[in-house]
């Protein structure tokens, strides 16, 4: 079953095909004069006509929710959106039983979950493809959109580029580590002691021969970076912790840090941003920021992921 749970199981050739399709489909939604199509108009080939995606959210979402829903519409299909608390899941029906039943109604399921184990349980039992819409461990749809954004802005493939991650070793950091090891780009992680990424994810990526360095200084992390990436210091479900915020402060992405990275370096943030914490307004709203393209590219990359999952790529 072609689930989209992590990068390693999808593999490099399929990831390349997904990225190429995302670039091509985005370009195809522009007229010759450069004007964009109405956002709700289906793509000319409407490859997923008649297909339905179920989306289940255990956590809040703006980008993931709207981009998947619009993506299905543009592919000619539709989506059903719900929270886990509105389903029998919230009253104790097992994840596996839910998967079996959903497979009788819909063509694919996207889950945003507080526990990666739930995602695996769903995928193991589902007779239809399952897509990881963020877990406590990873956020591959977002990282693939980041890679698409890098290729679009720099006009070169991601292979051989150099990325710097600043701040918390969270789900986004884990997916970036995995992406670096599968798609062959360099990654420097500037992360304070005590907030490292997942050990297993890091060890597996290094065993694959990835060029990944864990450094303890923001300046060391961004030297020579083509892309500087950060994310919230407190992910969904984490309590406000003064101690953590204090440890993160030296890793804030501000104008001085971007200057150190170099004139052509771009800034990325998956959003939502906590302005004045992990990033300053000056950087997020400045010319190096690719954050808004990154958000838009969730739509384009996820359409290609859906096509791959449903055998239409």
Instruction: Just list the catalytic residues.
Output: 112, 139, 142, 231, 270, 298
What is the DSSP secondary structure assignment for residue 30, as one 8-state letter?
B
Rounded-to-integer distance, Cα 303 and Cα 107, Å = 14
Written as six digits, the tokens of 230 are: 């950060």
Q: Which does 180 bind (CB under 5 to 8 A by kind): ligand CP, ligand NVA, none?
A: none
Chain positions 156 to 175 lying near ligand NVA, rule: CB under 6 A, are 170-172
Rounded-to-integer distance, Cα 228 and Cα 163, Å = 6
- The least distance separating ligand NVA from the CB of residue 173, rounded to whole angstroms, comes to 9
Chain positions 251 to 270 lying near ligand NVA, rule: CB under 6 A, are 270
- The least distance separating ligand CP from the CB of residue 57, rounded to whole angstroms, comes to 9
Contact pick of 9, 11, 28, 62 for ligand CP (by CB under 6 A): 62
Decide whether 94 or 238 has the Cβ nearer to ligand NVA.
238
The DSSP-derived string for 121-139 is HHHHH-SS-EEE---SS--
Decide whether 157 or 272 has the Cβ nearer to ligand CP.
272
Q: Which does 62 bind (CB under 5 to 8 A by kind): ligand CP, ligand NVA, none?
A: ligand CP
Written as six digits, the tokens of 272 are: 């939502």
Chain positions 114 to 143 lying near ligand NVA, rule: CB under 6 A, are 134, 139
Site pattern 85..124 for ligand CP (x: CB under 6 A): ----------------------------------------
Rounded-to-integer distance, Cα 202 and Cα 208, Å = 10
- The least distance separating ligand NVA from the CB of residue 62, rounded to whole angstroms, comes to 9
- The least distance separating ligand NVA from the CB of residue 231, rounded to whole angstroms, comes to 5
Of 141, 137, 146, 139, residue with least CA distance to 164: 146
Q: Which does 231 bind (CB under 5 to 8 A by kind): ligand NVA, ligand CP, none?
A: ligand NVA
Decide whether 83 or 235 has the Cβ nearer to ligand NVA.
235
- Report the half-sphere exposure of 166 (CA within 13 A, side-chain side): 28
Say if CB 112 and CB 61 are below 8 A apart.
yes
Q: Which does 184 bind (CB under 5 to 8 A by kind): ligand NVA, ligand CP, none?
A: none
Determine the 3-state secondary structure of 229 from DSSP.
strand
Written as six digits, the tokens of 38 are: 């109405």
Residues β-bridged to residue 79: 53
Contact pick of 61, 118, 149, 181 for ligand CP (by CB under 6 A): 61
Of 35, 8, 22, 62, residue with least CA distance to 307: 22
Counting contacts by CB under 6 A, is residue 134 touching ligand CP? yes
- The least distance separating ligand NVA from the CB of residue 109, rounded to whole angstroms, comes to 19
Nearest-5° Cα angle at 104, 99 to 110? 45
For the chain, how big is the Rg over CA atoms in Å?
A: 19
What is the DSSP secondary structure assignment for residue 170, as one 8-state letter?
-
Residues lying near ligand CP in the complex (CB under 6 A) are found at 61-64, 134, 142, 270-271
């Amino acid at each position: 079953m072609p689930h989209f749970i992590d990068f390693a199981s999808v593999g490099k050739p399929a990831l390349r095909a997904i990225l190429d399709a995302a670039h091509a489909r985005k370009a195809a939604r522009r007229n010759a004069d450069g004007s964009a199509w109405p956002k709700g108009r289906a793509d000319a080939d409407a490859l997923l006509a008649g297909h339905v995606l179920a989306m289940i959210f255990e956590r809040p979402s703006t980008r993931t929710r709207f981009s998947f829903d619009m993506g299905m519409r543009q592919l000619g299909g539709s989506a059903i959106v719900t929270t886990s608390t509105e389903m029998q899941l919230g009253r104790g029906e097992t994840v596996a039983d839910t998967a079996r039943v959903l497979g009788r109604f819909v063509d694919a399921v996207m889950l945003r979950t507080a526990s990666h184990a739930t995602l695996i349980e769903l995928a193991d039992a589902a007779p239809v493809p399952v897509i990881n819409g963020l877990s406590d461990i990873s956020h591959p749809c977002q990282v693939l959109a980041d890679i698409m954004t890098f290729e679009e802005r720099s006009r070169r493939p991601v292979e051989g580029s150099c990325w710097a991650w600043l701040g918390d070793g969270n789900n986004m950091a884990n997916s970036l580590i995995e992406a670096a090891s599968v798609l062959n780009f360099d990654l420097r992680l500037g992360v304070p002691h005590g907030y490292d990424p997942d050990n297993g994810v890091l060890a597996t990526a290094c065993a694959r021969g990835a060029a990944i360095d864990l450094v303890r200084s923001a300046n060391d992390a961004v030297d020579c970076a083509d892309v500087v990436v950060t994310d919230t210091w407190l992910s969904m479900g984490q309590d406000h912790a003064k101690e953590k915020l204090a440890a993160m402060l030296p890793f804030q992405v501000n104008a001085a840090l971007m200057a150190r990275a170099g004139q052509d370096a771009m800034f990325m943030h998956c959003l939502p941003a906590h302005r004045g914490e992990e990033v300053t307004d000056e950087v997020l709203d400045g010319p190096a920021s690719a954050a808004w393209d990154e958000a838009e590219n969730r739509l384009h990359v996820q359409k290609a992921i859906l096509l791959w999952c449903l055998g239409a790529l």
